[in-house]
């Protein structure tokens, strides 16, 4: 699993929950980690 582009602990609590959900979904659905990281980074802009 690749590391998130930003430190996980620095995210607001609701954002951490969203990232957790996306990572879990990526494992279930087989979505590449890079795609999840892209989604996380999009949320920062």
In a domain, 1, yes or no: no
Assess if residue 5 is contained within a domain: no
Domain assignment present for 4 = no
Residue 38 within a domain: yes
Q: Is 3 domain-assigned?
A: no
12: helix, coil or strand?
A: coil
What's the whole-model pTM score?
0.44
> Is the Cβ–Cβ distance between 38 and 32 less than 8 Å?
no
| Parent domain of 39 | 11-44
Residue 7 has pLDDT above 70, yes or no: no
Do 20 and 5 contact (CB within 8 A), yes or no?
A: no
Residue with tokens 């949320």: 43
Round to whole Å and give the CA distance between 37 and 29: 15
Give a yes or no: residue 35 inside a domain.
yes
Number of structural domains found in the chain: 1
pLDDT tens, residue by residue, 12-37: 777 778 778 878 878 888 878 788 77
Residue 20 domain-assigned (yes or no): yes
């Amino acid at each position: 699993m690749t590391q998130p582009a930003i430190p996980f602990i620095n995210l607001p609590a609701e954002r951490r929950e969203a990232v957790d959900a996306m990572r879990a979904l990526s494992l279930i659905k087989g979505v590449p980690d890079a795609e999840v990281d892209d989604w996380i980074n999009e949320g920062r802009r």
